[in-house]
């Protein structure tokens, strides 16, 4: 069986803890590798190495650091197929979806190529008599990224790119379910010219996470995962004086107004609801048609589209729409929630439970599932299912639909489909959600903006990538400077204005 390693000091290092976790092939249910789980002592060694490397890396001028990002981006693009194969093999998503995963991460690396302009400080000449005032951005030191299973390439790149180009060293702890992509990215970063030790990939579980949160050398932590863990990491990091940006769960709604193009809305719901088997924090899991006629017409369009979806392993051809979920436990949980929806009175229009793929009977497959007549008190509405399940909640008015979104505890993403500009503008202004789509189902901002939700979808003041990432991974130092002309002034104990 293939046994993976950590990446420390620019080389593969075998784990010494004696503890491992198994990596499954989601399509077959078979164990394909195992990965070591680091001890606090192993993490200490990686952090010490990172701290040594960071000092010299921080002293490298921003333009040279940006050149490493340029080479890194080129190598990612050159190795797109190999990276996509790793993503699909461990996660289960289709190859086109895996390439999209990598591409959205690569776009953040492309922004990092222009980091010198984002790392500039400020200067005020003659702020007072003979006094200059300036501010400069400096790296934090050693930072950490803790990333989830559902985007094995994109989110590690979202974390490492801005952190590294800002002059920090990073300890990356990828999900132990999908570690191979992060290990390959670390090798490509080294090939691009990143000095040894500046990026360490340490595999682990909660023991490693807690060691990261408690370690005094680590200055900041970025996390993406479920809301309970995001809140835990944010609280523990803050208790140890660290910066933290922690992104949690979601329950993303899409409102469909009576004047919407229902064919386009149905197509959008298929992609946003079932792509990647629903394992996206920006997936649309709740459709909210306004009015009974709109709801009936929408369901009529959704059913044949869902019935045509092909669920299969990523090796099953270019026409595969989505693959398995990540583990057997995930499959069991999703099917349990589907069952609860039936028990609590929702109308099960299409049932994805018990899906069997010939030759892959032990795979973790869940078929596309559609519910109608869902109400907010049902578990399938309240829980983040993280699977290929679309719930339809019928609203009788726009205000009722808007209130449904605003009252939900999550605030990651939302969308509205309408032909009316005034309705769209009102929705964008009033809805209390961090990312809004207008006739656009998955409103993930481009890499030169920033990604982030509201309410219980995010903990921390700054978002991921874009300008916010450079603020998060740097600290501002302000200098008040005066050079004397040679005329000696008498000492003053008064605190006085510069002007």
- DSSP track, 410-479: EESEEEEE-S-HHHHHHHHHH---SEEEES-S--PPPTTS-B--EETTEESSS-BSHHHHHHHTEEEEEE
**Which position has the token pair 């589907």?**
338
Q: Under a CB-based contact definition with an 8 Å cutoff, are residues 366 and 336 in contact? A: no
- Per-domain boundaries in the chain: 2-248+457-479, 252-438
**Pick the catalytic residue: 89, 112, 246, 281?**
281
pLDDT value of residue 318:
86
For the question of residue 281 being annotated catalytic, the response is yes
CA-to-CA distance for 153 and 129, rounded, in angstroms? 53
Burial class (CB in 10 A: 0-12, 13-18, 19+), 239: exposed
pLDDT at 496: 66
pLDDT at position 494: 73
CA 213, 217, 218, 219 torsion-angle sign: positive
CATH class of the structural domain 2-248+457-479: alpha beta
| Cα distance between residue 296 and residue 404, in whole Å | 19
Task: Give the pLDDT of the chain (499 residues) as one tens digit per residue.
Answer: 799 999 999 999 999 999 999 999 999 999 999 999 999 999 999 999 999 999 999 999 999 999 999 999 999 999 999 999 999 999 999 999 999 999 999 999 999 999 999 999 999 999 988 899 999 999 999 999 999 999 999 999 999 999 999 999 999 999 999 999 999 999 999 999 999 999 999 999 999 999 999 999 999 999 999 999 999 999 999 999 999 999 999 999 999 999 999 999 999 999 999 999 999 999 999 999 999 999 999 999 999 999 999 999 999 988 999 999 999 999 999 999 999 999 999 999 999 999 999 999 999 999 999 999 999 999 999 999 999 999 999 999 999 999 999 999 999 999 999 999 999 999 999 999 999 999 999 999 999 999 999 999 999 999 999 999 999 999 999 999 998 876 566 666 776 666 6
Which 3 state secondary structure label does DSSP give 99?
Answer: helix
Rounded distance between C-alpha atoms, residue 299 and residue 290, angstroms:
12
Distance CA 453, CA 489 (A): 54
> What burial class does residue 305 get, using C-beta atoms within 10 Å of its C-beta: 0-12 exposed, 13-18 middle, 19+ buried?
middle
Q: What is the pLDDT of residue 486?
A: 64
φ, ψ of residue 284 to 5 degrees: the values are -85, 115
Q: Return the CATH fold of 252-438.
A: Aldehyde Dehydrogenase; Chain A, domain 2 (3.40.309)
Report helix, strand or coil for 225: coil
Query: How many Å is the Cα radius of gyration of the chain?
Result: 25
Which H helix or E strand runs over 132? strand 131-139
Q: Which of 53, 67, 68, 75 is nearest to 8 (CA)?
A: 53
């Amino acid at each position: 069986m293939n046994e993976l390693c950590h990446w420390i000091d620019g080389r593969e290092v075998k784990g010494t803890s004696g503890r491992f976790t198994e990596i499954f092939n989601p399509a077959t249910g078979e164990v394909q590798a195992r990965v070591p789980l680091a001890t606090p002592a192993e993490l200490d060694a990686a952090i010490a190495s990172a701290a040594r490397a960071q000092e010299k890396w921080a002293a490298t001028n921003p333009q040279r650091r940006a050149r490493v990002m340029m080479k890194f981006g080129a190598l990612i693009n050159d190795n797109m197929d190999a990276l996509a194969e790793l993503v699909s093999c461990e996660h289960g998503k289709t190859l086109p979806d895996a390439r999209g995963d990598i591409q959205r991460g690569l776009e953040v690396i492309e922004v990092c190529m222009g980091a010198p302009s984002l790392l500039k400080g400020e200067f005020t000449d003659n702020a007072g008599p003979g006094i200059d005032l300036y501010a400069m951005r400096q790296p934090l030191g050693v930072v950490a990224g803790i990333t989830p299973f559902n985007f094995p390439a994109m989110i590690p790149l979202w974390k490492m790119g801005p952190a590294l180009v800002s002059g920090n060293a990073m300890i990356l702890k990828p999900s132990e379910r999908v570690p191979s992509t992060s290990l390959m990215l670390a090798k490509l970063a080294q090939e691009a010219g990143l000095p040894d030790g500046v990026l360490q990939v340490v595999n682990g579980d909660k023991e490693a996470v807690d060691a990261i949160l408690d370690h005094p050398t680590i200055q900041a932590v970025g996390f993406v995962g479920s809301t309970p863990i995001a809140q835990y990491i944010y609280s523990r990091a803050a208790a140890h004086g660290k910066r933290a940006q922690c992104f949690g769960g979601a329950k993303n709604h899409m409102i469909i107004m009576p004047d919407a193009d229902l064919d386009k809305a149905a197509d959008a719901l298929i992609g946003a609801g079932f792509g990647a088997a629903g394992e996206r924090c920006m997936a649309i899991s709740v459709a909210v048609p306004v009015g009974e006629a709109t709801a009936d017409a929408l369901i009529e369009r959704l059913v044949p589209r869902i019935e045509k979806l092909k669920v299969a392993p990523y090796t099953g051809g270019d026409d595969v729409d989505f693959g398995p979920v990540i583990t057997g436990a995930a499959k069991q949980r999703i099917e349990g929630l589907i069952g609860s929806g039936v028990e609590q009175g929702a109308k099960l229009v299409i049932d994805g439970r018990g899906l069997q793929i010939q030759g892959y009977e032990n795979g973790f497959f869940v078929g596309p599932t559609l519910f109608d007549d869902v109400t907010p008190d049902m578990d399938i509405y309240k829980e983040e299912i993280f699977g290929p399940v679309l719930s339809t909640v019928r609203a009788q008015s726009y205000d009722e639909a808007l209130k449904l979104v605003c009252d939900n505890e999550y605030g990651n993403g939302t969308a509205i489909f309408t032909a009316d500009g005034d309705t769209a503008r009102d929705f964008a202004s009033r809805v209390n959600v961090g990312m809004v789509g207008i006739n656009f189902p998955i409103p993930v901002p481009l890499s030169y903006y920033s990604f982030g939700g509201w309410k219980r979808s995010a903990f921390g003041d700054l978002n991921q990538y874009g300008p916010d990432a450079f603020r998060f991974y740097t600290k501002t130092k302000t200098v008040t400077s005066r050079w004397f002309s040679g005329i000696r002034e008498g000492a003053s104990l008064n605190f006085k204005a510069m002007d």
